[in-house]
Structure 1
Amino acid sequence: MRPAPAGPYGPPRQMPVHWQPRRKSSAGPIIGGVLGLAAVGFVVVVLGAAAADRSGAEDAVVTSSGDGSRTVREPQRGERRPVKEQRAPLNTSLKENTVYTAGALPRTRCPGGRANVFDHRQIKAHILKTAKCMDRAWRTTLEKVGIPFEPPKWVVASGKGRGPCGDFPQANSAAPYYCPRTMSVYASTKAMANGNGESVGYARMSSWHGAFTAMMGHEYGHHVQQLTGLSQARWERSLASGSESRRLALSRRLELQANCFAGMFMRAVAASYPVPAARRDDLFAFWGSLGDHPGWPRDHGSPPNNGVWFRQGWQKQQAYQCNTWAMPAKAVS
């Protein structure tokens, strides 16, 4: 079993970047001599006054009162003029991405409840509920470093379905998948619990709903990669790659990083979910059972490395600790 399908991962949307608007020039139009010196003088006076008004408006101090009204006044002598905050452009590269400066996810309240993973209605409601927890945790973290946030969408069916990135579940796979084209997660609750084709269900390894939440945390990790430009950078690197082995290596780094992000989330909600020591060990064992078993393409990483990177996110908790792109090949094999 693999934590997510290898399936079609089309070109992600371009990442919006911060920009600074150009300041308008205060220079007036060049007045032709035909208008005469008087007209020129008049235009210069008018433009000079307008420029002064703009300068005064930029330097003015604005205060707000309790009733919502705003007062504009000139700054007093010795008073500092307000300084506009300017952010550097986002870094959307693989190794030095802005997300690595975001730190840890905030502790997030997210009670797990008692959802039965074999009951479609219950586990679907559980997935959608815990997805809101992921939204809260990741929105705070990404916006803190200037990364625009948009929540993913969720398509959770009891049986089989089809999305823009292909069938879900895919043939001989129980895994959900994230589709960059729609920024959506597609999942079959029946396949996840009971298996599909040659793939056994996740419930064979853990019937606790926390394992399913962690799996969705992995798919949410792909959404984080989409928002931060990591997916785009990986896609461009794959297109430029000259060999299949290099493309598979890039895929493994992407997938193992999503495992790490899932570990960060489960640690962020551990106190309220709750995730006691025994359940934590279950999660570690669960992730150590997933990956590229013999006969599968080597696109998700070995089972030991799948477990290592989930634990990395859980134990280290910091986004920069999930930088799989800076690691030697052995660590992401």
Structure 2
Amino acid sequence: MPNRDWSEPSGPPPGALPDGAIPMYGNHPLPGAPGGGPPLPAVGWGPELGVGEGYHFQHGGPPRRRRSGLTISLVLLGLVAVGLLVTALALREGDSPAVAPSPSLAPTQTDDSPASPGTQDGAASSQDSAKIVSADAFYATGVLRSVNCREPQVALTSQAAVRTYYGNLVGCLNRAWAPKVAAAQDAFKPPRVVFWAGSVQSPCTSGSPVSFYCPANQTLYLQFDDDIKLWNRSADSTNRAFARMWVTYTAGHEFGHHLQQVTGILSAATRLEYDAPDREARLELSRRIELQASCLGTSFMGANKISYGITGLDLTVYRRYVEAQTGDENNRAGPRDHGARASHQYWTALGFNTLDSSKCNTFTASASKVS
């Protein structure tokens, strides 16, 4: 079947369900949908999305604590008291022989030393971080080219099968993005991959219910048991397409975070997030990070859609069910840290259609585009 662009209005291909045929409860398809079948236990609905009350993956350290006026006053009074005490001791021991001051034991930071969040003060560091996230050379590397990635023909019924599926995808992602990172004068390093079920420990979080990326050790933590549940919930072709496209989307999104890390964009955005003046500003930066990762992930799929076979039913499912189920609406009790469904639809379509990293620059977009 001819390949369709996401922005082109068209009817469903043969085998797809027509609009309005998917029963809904709240914001999710019924457990047996899309495609019908007996209800099965609910599963996760997004990379770091729909994960329970209040869950929020911190991209960096805790937000900077703002000192109150009372705290500042107490600190000043303490400094005055220490100064008076030092002066008194100096007058008392004025006849003592002079002693050279001992060298400071505190580490010093040179101009070439990387600053960690919380150690950067003044406008210069914020300006540097803002320049990186908005105008990094990575954005000017042009259109992503196909690496003729092909989908492995495996049923996602076991850990071994899911590992094979993800392993093929990550290999393709490495081949596709390494030249682009090199063109930006950055060093590309393939991410490590950890597969897990139940619970997992990482330097970034003591627990997560879904797949995630940890920049501290540049590792994709891919949870596989929900992928198996998605595959097994119904044997029809629409459900199987949903399971395969969901794995594809998840790998692309988490790899997008790795691209942000190796280009320096994620570290710079984390510093801005850390120094943000309030919670709303931090959440907006978090949404810009997450929406960019989704845009970069779908750029890869758009570039390889012919060889991978994202056409016909797969393309319809990818658009209407995978993309349409991603958004902060799925985590009603949690923070708005990943972006609304409409924002995800905008950025994923932009990445898939343009294949251009510059179009995924969420950090120069208006606030309405990253809501």
TM-score (norm. length: structure 1): 0.68
1:10: how far off?
3.1
Aligned to 2:327: 291
Equivalent in the alignment of 2:26: none
| Residues 139-160 of structure 1 deviation map (CA, whole Å, 9 limit, x = unaligned) | 0111123221111000012443
Q: Work out whether residues 134 and 364 of structure 2, in 8 Å CA contact, stay in contact via their aligned partners in 1.
A: yes
More strand by share: 1
The answer to whether structure 1 residue 228 and structure 2 residue 263 are counterparts is: yes
CA distance in 2, matches of 1:269, 1:302: 27
Identity of aligned residues (%): 26
108-117 or 212-221, larger mean C-alpha shift: 108-117
Matches within 5 A, 1:1-333: 1-4=45-48, 6-10=56-60, 93-167=132-206, 170=208, 173=209, 175-194=210-229, 207-285=242-320, 286-293=322-329, 294-333=332-371
Q: 1:248 to 1:290 in 2, by over 3 A?
A: same
Report the 3-state secondary structure (helix = DSSP H, G, I; strand = E; otherwise coil) of the residue aligned with 1:208: helix
In structure 2, C-alpha distance between the alignment counterparts of 1:144 and 1:242, rounded to whole Å: 35
CA contact (8 A) 1:257 1:309 kept: yes
Residues 1:164 and 1:299: Cα distance change in structure 2 (over 3 Å): same
- Aligned-CA RMSD value: 2.3
Write the distance in 1 (CA, Å) between the matches of 2:171 and 2:149.
Answer: 9
CA offsets per residue over residues 65-93 of structure 1, 9 Å max, x none?
A: xxxxxxxxxxxxxxxxxxxxxxxxxx961
Per-residue CA deviations over 1:144-196 (Å, capped at 9, x if unaligned) read 2322111100001244322222245x2xx4x300001100011220034438x
Partner Cα separation in structure 2 for residue 312 and residue 277 of structure 1: 20
Would the alpha carbon gap of residues 205 and 277 (structure 1) be closer, same or farther in structure 2, given more than 3 Å must change?
A: closer
Greater than 6 Å deviation, 4+ residue runs: none
Contact 1:2 1:292 (C-alpha < 8 Å) held by counterparts? no
Secondary structure of the 1:178 match is: strand
Distance 2:196 2:164 in 1: 11
Which AA in structure 2 matches 1:126? Y
In the alignment, residue 323 of structure 1 is paired with which amino acid?
N
Question: Quick one: which amino acid aligns to residue 110 of structure 1?
Answer: C
Q: Check conservation: 1:260, 1:313, Cα contact below 8 A.
A: yes
Structure 2 unmatched runs, 5+: 1-44, 50-55, 62-111, 113-129, 231-237
Q: Deviations over 1:266-293 (max 9, x none)?
A: 0122121111143122112212211101
* C-alpha distance in 1 between matches for 2:333 and 2:228: 22
TM superposition score normalised by structure 2: 0.62
Q: What secondary structure sits across from 2:193 in the alignment?
A: strand
* Distance (whole Å) between structure 2 residues aligned to residue 97 and residue 111 of structure 1: 31
In terms of Rg, which structure is larger? 1
- Is residue 154–residue 184 contact of structure 1 (8 Å, CA) maintained in 2? yes
Separation in 2, partners of 1:179, 1:235 = 13
How many residues are treated as equivalent by the alignment? 245
The whole-number CA distance in structure 2 between the counterparts of 1:205 and 1:289 is 16
Shift of 1:207: 3.7
Q: Judging changes above 3 Å, is the alpha-carbon distance between structure 1 residues 320 and 306 closer, same or farther for their aligned structure 2 residues?
A: same
- Render the CA deviation track for 1:44-68: whole Å, top value 9, x for unaligned: xxxxxxxxxxxxxxxxxxxxxxxxx
